[in-house]
Amino acid sequence: MDIENAKIPQATAKRLPLYYRFINNLHSQGKMRVSSKELSEAVKVDSATIRRDFSYFGALGKKGYGYNVEYLLSFFRKTLDQDETTNVALIGVGNLGTAFLNYNFTKNNNTKIQIAFDASDDRIGDTVGGVPIKHIDELEEYIDGISVAILTVPAQAAQGIADRLVKANISGVLNFTPARITVPSSVRVHHIDLAVELQALVYFLKHYPLDGELEDEL
Amino acid sequence: MDIENAKIPQATAKRLPLYYRFINNLHSQGKMRVSSKELSEAVKVDSATIRRDFSYFGALGKKGYGYNVEYLLSFFRKTLDQDETTNVALIGVGNLGTAFLNYNFTKNNNTKIQIAFDASDDRIGDTVGGVPIKHIDELEEYIDGISVAILTVPAQAAQGIADRLVKANISGVLNFTPARITVPSSVRVHHIDLAVELQALVYFLKHYPLDGELEDEL
DNA sequence: TTTAGATTGTGAATGATGTAACATTTCCGT
DNA sequence: ACGGAAATGTTACATCATTCACAATCTAAA
């Protein structure tokens, strides 16, 4: 919330978690220093872009030397609020939901899936990836202290559940359903539409020159 | 490949599948006409942006009237090469891979997952969502006629499999692993990194004003 | 047929992002 | 201690994308 961070471009903010993970890798490999050029090859982002991104946070590197891995790491840890974890709920324990629960989010991350909900009676009471599953009817009872929801339910259910999440004071939603949900402007929604991603890739392949293009961020 | 399509901005191209799906919805609801304003509310994209996007394809609408749903639909069907399906392979039938296989991609889409591969012996020979599963060792035998691969394998395996896919003449890869794979510039790669998406959402929540912002595309 | 109302398509303004290029500074071997 | 090599931080530019605002045009109803 400080003034400095308020000015960081969204495109940069989206790359921060990526940088963080690779810096973390370097650190566990015992590497002491890294240049923007090396980092560029690893994360597939132009080195000038990396330097620009880092510069929003001040002078993190040293000219002629590069960046100190340890320092970068501790800086990113602090900046990405690594220590203060955000509590997440997952709604819809289907295939996609299960994938998320099994994904090891606690490692190197500032987020933790605390609880999951599902409509099918079979799964209630189980834990998947260490996360307990409750019935969706009990959403309001258990959602206290949760600020972000991952929505992996069938498309028809999306808006209804979104409404309940809003009432329960959620701050952000990661929406994996094809439905575009409507929420108050105080709630942030990111849409990730798997079918659209695949179709867009196919469209690019058919209509854009294949050669000399760098691969894209999503 | 025609000259007209070559000039369409990438940002627009990414929205086309989204438009297509919603126009399809309208059509099955029996709606005859639609304005950019209505469409805007449904897909959460500014109405001027929608009009601009459509205008790259010529004058699809009529002033004072809006767009004819039937006409729009047939136009998008043609433009997105709805009739000529792209064959897709899925590598890695874990939770995330299974989610993809069960997702109904044949409905309203120009893509079809023809075959899946996995390293675990248990699943070989099964079909999931109508898609047969082969062993990853047999990749090269079965990949003929496949132009796109969905990569849902563990991160360590990603680069090795990418190399094999490139040798097998793949055109595009949808990479769901955290690894950033290296491929020749003739191959298009889109990265979708679930952990990064979640972290980025959390970062935005903590550092950007909550109110008055429109929700984001991913 | 005329008119009021609606909505497109687009020129122009604005904003956001990416990248080339280089002066500046630091490192490090001799 | 010095000079060359290296790599940052940033200025300037180029590109891409979004949005405003409105003339042009159409519909539909009286």
Q: What is the DSSP string of B60-77?
A: -SBTTTBEEHHHHHHHHH
Q: Please tell me the CATH code under which domain A86-196 is placed.
A: 3.40.50.720
Phi, psi of B4 (to 5 degrees): -55, -50
* pLDDT for residue B213 is more than 50: no
- How do A111-118 and A131-135 pair as beta strands? parallel
Residues within 7 Å (Cβ) of strand D = A 35-37, 47-48, 51-52, 54-55, 59-67; B 9-12, 45-46, 48-49, 51-52, 62-65, 214
Q: How far is the CA of A46 from the C1' of D4 (A)?
A: 27
Residue at the smallest CA–C1' distance to nucleotide D11: A52
Q: Is B50 helix (H, G, I), strand (E, B) or coil?
A: helix
Q: What is the pLDDT of residues A4-18, one digit of tens each?
A: 445 799 999 999 999
Between CA A167 and CA B193 the distance in angstroms is 29
CB burial readout B71-99, b (16+ within 10 A) else e = ebbebbbebbeeeeebebbbbbbbbbbbb
Q: How far is the CA of A60 from the C1' of C14 (A)?
A: 32
Encoding tokens for residue B23? 């126009």
CB contact under 8 A, B81 and A197: no
CB contact under 8 A, B188 and A81: no
Shortest distance between the Cα of A68 and any Cα of chain B, in A, equals 22
**Which residues make Cβ contacts (< 8 Å) with residue B93, sequence separation at least 6?**
B101, B116, B117, B118, B120, B123, B128, B133, B152
Q: Where in chain B is the domain with CATH 3.40.50.720?
A: 86-196
Q: How far is the CA of B103 from the C1' of D9 (A)?
A: 47
Strand D nucleotides, any atom under 7 Å from protein beta carbons: they are 5-11, 16-21, 23-28
Average pLDDT, chain B: 89
Q: Please tell me the CATH code under which domain A3-78 is placed.
A: 1.10.10.10
Which residue, chain included where needed, has tokens 């990526």? A18
* DSSP percent split of chain B into helix, strand, coil, nearest 5: 45, 20, 40
Chain B residue with the nearest C-alpha to that of A180: B43
Provide the pLDDT for residue B3. 40
Provide the pLDDT for residue B106. 63
Between CA A27 and CA A21 the distance in angstroms is 10
- How do B188-191 and B172-175 pair as beta strands? parallel
Phi, psi of A171 (to 5 degrees): -100, -35
User: Quick one: pLDDT band at residue A3, thresholds 50, 70, 90?
Assistant: very low
Provide the pLDDT for residue A213. 40
Chain A residue with the nearest C-alpha to that of B129: A95
State the sign of the Cα–Cα–Cα–Cα dihedral B31, B35, B40, B41: negative
| Residue B158 or residue B206, greater confidence | B158
Q: How far is the CA of B120 from the C1' of D25 (A)?
A: 63
Average pLDDT over every residue of B22-45: 95
Q: What is the pLDDT of residues B74-89, one digit of tens each?
A: 999 888 766 678 999 9
Encoding tokens for residue B204? 């935005």
Between CA A43 and CA A24 the distance in angstroms is 13
Between CA B167 and CA B165 the distance in angstroms is 5
User: Quick one: pLDDT band at residue A82, thresholds 50, 70, 90?
Assistant: low
Q: Where in chain A is the domain with CATH 1.10.10.10?
A: 3-78
The distance from CA A4 to its chain's CA centroid, rounded to whole angstroms, is: 22
State the sign of the Cα–Cα–Cα–Cα dihedral B204, B206, B207, B213: positive
Provide the pLDDT for residue B7. 78
Strand C nucleotides, any atom under 7 Å from protein beta carbons: they are 5-11, 16-21, 23-28
* pLDDT for residue B15 is more than 70: yes
Provide the pLDDT for residue A212. 43
Shortest distance between the Cα of B14 and any Cα of chain A, in A, equals 5
Between CA A65 and CA A75 the distance in angstroms is 18
Between CA B127 and CA B102 the distance in angstroms is 11
Q: What is the pLDDT of residues B82-110, one digit of tens each?
A: 667 899 999 999 999 999 999 866 666 67
Chain B residue with the nearest C-alpha to that of A170: B205
Encoding tokens for residue B90? 């899925």
Shortest distance between the Cα of A107 and any Cα of chain B, in A, equals 10
Provide the pLDDT for residue A209. 67
Q: What is the pLDDT of residues A93-150, one digit of tens each?
A: 999 999 999 986 666 667 899 999 999 999 999 999 999 999 999 999 999 999 999 9
A14, A194, A207 ranked by CB distance to B100: nearest: A194
